[in-house]
């Protein structure tokens, strides 16, 4: 088992790739398998994370600041890169990100990246923050294990469904 200090160093050195990248990839696979099962009419527990429009297409909603800007007690710019990430439905994610990175740090990590990579990087960081909150003992390593198991079980289910149809 890897030590948590090793992970902490890896996180500082590379806040958006590494294991969070693996977890993100697995999460994508899980979502894809779920979507496929749902399209076959097979009910699945858990949410499919919807494909969200890119940040420039996110309109201001009723002049209301996004969750992240409200957290920082500032007004939301008309094109706020945080609005697409921290939707009202994802206020739990904001809490996790704040606990793990701090919202300001999160923003500054994100801003350092090329514009085209920011959205995905933000999602990876959210995923990592969520993992540390949900699985404090193992964090992202535990999440990767869980996602691997989910991919396996959903693949089995899908193969069964395809065989039966
Ligand atoms: Zn905002």
> How much is the average pLDDT of 101-109?
91
Please state, in angstroms and as integers, the Cα–Cα distance from residue 3 to each residue in 6, 132, 141, following that order. 5, 14, 11
pLDDT tens track for 66-79:
889 989 998 888 77
Quote the ligand 1 centre to 16 CA distance (angstroms).
21
> Ligand 1 centre and the CA of 77: distance in Å?
6
Contact 121, 110 (CB under 8 A): yes
121 CA distance to ligand 1 middle (Å):
17
Ligand 1 mean position, distance from CA 84 (Å): 9
CA distance 126 to 121: 9
CA of 50 to the centre of ligand 1 (A): 20
Question: What residues form DSSP beta bridges with 64?
Answer: 61
Going from the Cα of 2 to the center of ligand 1, the distance in angstroms, rounded, reads: 37
**Reported confidence tier of residue 10, pLDDT bands at 50, 70, 90:** very low
Q: How does residue 142 score in pLDDT terms, banded at 50, 70 and 90?
A: confident
Per-residue pLDDT tens over the stretch 20-49: 778 878 888 888 888 888 888 876 655 444
Residue 125, helix vs strand vs coil: helix
Distance 59 CA to ligand 1 centre (A): 11
| Among 10-24, 64-78, 95-109, 130-144, the least confident range | 10-24
Cα of 33 to ligand 1 centre, how many Å? Answer: 32
Q: Measuring CA to CA, which residue among 85, 29, 94 is closest to residue 54?
A: 85
| d(CA 57, ligand 1 centre) in Å | 13
- Helices 4-13 and 139-164 pack at an angle, to 10 degrees, of 90
Token pair for 99: 């606990």
3-state secondary structure (DSSP) of residue 52: coil
DSSP 64: B
Task: Indicate the DSSP class of residue 51.
Answer: P
Q: H-type helices in the chain, by residue range?
A: 4-13, 18-39, 67-71, 91-100, 103-111, 115-134, 139-164
Q: How far is the CA of 11 from the centre of ligand 1 (A)?
A: 26
**What's the average model confidence in pLDDT over 87-115?**
89
Query: In angstroms, what is the span from residue 160 Cα to ligand 1's centroid?
Result: 44
Of 64 and 11, which is predicted with more confidence?
64
């Amino acid at each position: 088992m890897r030590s948590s200090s090793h992970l902490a160093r890896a996180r500082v050195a590379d806040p958006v790739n590494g294991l969070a990248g693996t977890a993100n990839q697995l999460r994508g696979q899980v979502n894809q398998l779920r979507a496929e099962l749902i399209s076959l009419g097979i009910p699945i527990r858990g949410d499919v994370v919807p494909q969200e429009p890119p940040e420039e297409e996110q309109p201001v909603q009723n002049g209301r600041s996004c969750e992240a800007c409200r957290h920082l007690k500032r007004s939301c710019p008309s094109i706020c890169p945080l609005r697409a990430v921290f939707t009202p439905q994802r206020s739990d994610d904001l809490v996790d990100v704040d606990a793990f990175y701090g919202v300001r740090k999160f923003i500054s990590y994100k801003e350092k990246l090329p514009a085209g990579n920011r959205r995905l990087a933000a999602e990876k960081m959210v995923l990592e923050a969520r993992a540390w909150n949900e699985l404090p003992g193992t964090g992202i390593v535990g999440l990767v294990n869980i996602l691997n198991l989910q991919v396996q079980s959903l693949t089995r289910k899908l193969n069964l469904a395809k065989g039966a149809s």
